[in-house]
Amino acid sequence: MSSQHTTEVDGYLSGQFDFATALATHSQALQDDAMNAALAVAKAEKFSGTFCTITVVGHSDRDDTPGLTQDQRRASELNASTKRAESARDWIFAQARQLLIDDGQPDPGTISGLTRSFFFTQPAGAAQLKKPNPASETDRQRNRRVAFLACFLN
């Protein structure tokens, strides 16, 4: 049996990459939703015959800085989305690690210490904009986001 769950957190300020900071601006329901990914990792690590994959995709807004070439803009957008994806991955792992420790399970120490949970990060840059022609900072914040898919298999 398997289950999948997708969560999306937007609202990053320009130059902001920290997932915990962005998540804290959202409702408790969305925060709980994000925590479900960590619960899936902890559950997979705790029970034999279970596995979990977490795929994290980071997104950025267009970089419209004057004077940048198209390649420089793309590199800047990919860098921002990579940092956002990695921050979300690290947050999910930290939450799962603490859940395991609190439950008396062995401390995995690092992501590579997990035995039945696997993380994948993917930068999307500005390739999948929610607001292709942002008219405001709010529109740009919608573009700056992280989405992750948690798949639990048992």
**Mind listing the pLDDT tens digit of every residue in the chain (154 residues)?**
788 989 999 999 999 999 999 999 999 999 999 999 999 999 999 998 899 999 999 999 988 889 999 999 999 999 999 999 999 999 999 999 999 999 999 999 999 999 999 999 999 999 999 999 999 999 999 999 999 999 999 8
pLDDT score at 154: 85
**Residue linked to tokens 């070439």:** 69
- In angstroms, the CA 90 to CA 62 distance is 25
Contact between 90 and 23 under an 8 Å Cβ cutoff? The reply is: no
What predicted TM-score, i.e. pTM, was given to this entire model?
A: 0.94
Structure tokens at 140: 């740009």
Structure tokens at 143: 């573009």
Structure tokens at 111: 């992501």
Which CATH code for domain 2-153?
3.30.1330.60
pLDDT score at 28: 97
Domain boundaries along the sequence of the chain: 2-153
- In angstroms, the CA 40 to CA 113 distance is 16
pLDDT score at 45: 96
- In angstroms, the CA 38 to CA 15 distance is 26
Contact between 34 and 138 under an 8 Å Cβ cutoff? The reply is: no
In the three-class reduction of DSSP (H, G, I as helix; E, B as strand; rest coil), residue 152 is classed as strand
- In angstroms, the CA 29 to CA 111 distance is 26
